Amino acid sequence: MYNFTAPFLLEGFFIVHIKTKLIMEGINWLAIGVATLIPMVVGFVYYHPKVLGGIWMRANGFTLESVGNGPKPIMYLVCLGMSFLLAFWCCVQFLDPHQTNIDFDGNPKDWKTFRHGVVHGISYGLFFVFPVLGTLSIFEKKPFSWVLVNTGYWLITLCVMCGIVSAWR
């Protein structure tokens, strides 16, 4: 009987190694660094009480007094770490060779534009974030306004983050 395991495992290792090497060479770390800051910047503006923070606080049952002085500094560092992971994931989405070769008509096309990243951000927001937050709100008994406010934040944030990492490839 022929053993299929060893050749496929070995071939799989080399394919993964080659893909990992190509991915790491194609990363623009400056773009990831800037994109990492975007959730904080957008969040400071978006969740301000005079923008949509008031609606968000009512949806969560918070008041200005209950929120207090805001999160502790360590929480901001944890959020930056999470933002880095998200920025890295957004960047890796644009390293596929199909992102830079031909358009839908077969003509040479370069997809390295901010606009292309925004399209990805919209699709991630509508087809990933919205269903996840919608499902979460059902089981946590959150109002639909909570879903809309938070989905709006992530939609804007992902559009800007993906736009940056797409344009700065």
Report pLDDT digits (tens) over 56-69.
988 988 887 877 77
Q: Is residue 15 domain-resident?
A: no
For the cut 70, the answer to whether the pLDDT of residue 165 exceeds it is yes
Report pLDDT digits (tens) over 105-143.
767 667 788 998 999 999 999 999 999 999 999 999 999
Report pLDDT for 94.
79
Q: pLDDT confidence of 7, banded at 50, 70, 90?
A: very low
Q: Is residue 118 domain-resident?
A: yes
Q: Is residue 20 domain-resident?
A: no
Q: Is residue 9 domain-resident?
A: no
Q: Is residue 86 domain-resident?
A: yes
118: containing domain: 29-167
The total of other beta-carbon atoms located within 10 Å of residue 38's CB is: 23
- What total of structural domains would you count in the chain? 1
Report pLDDT for 3.
46
Contact between 148 and 125 under an 8 Å Cβ cutoff? The reply is no
Does the pTM of the predicted model rise above 0.85?
no
C-alpha to C-alpha distance for 46 and 54, rounded to whole angstroms: 10
Q: Is residue 44 domain-resident?
A: yes
Q: Is residue 73 domain-resident?
A: yes
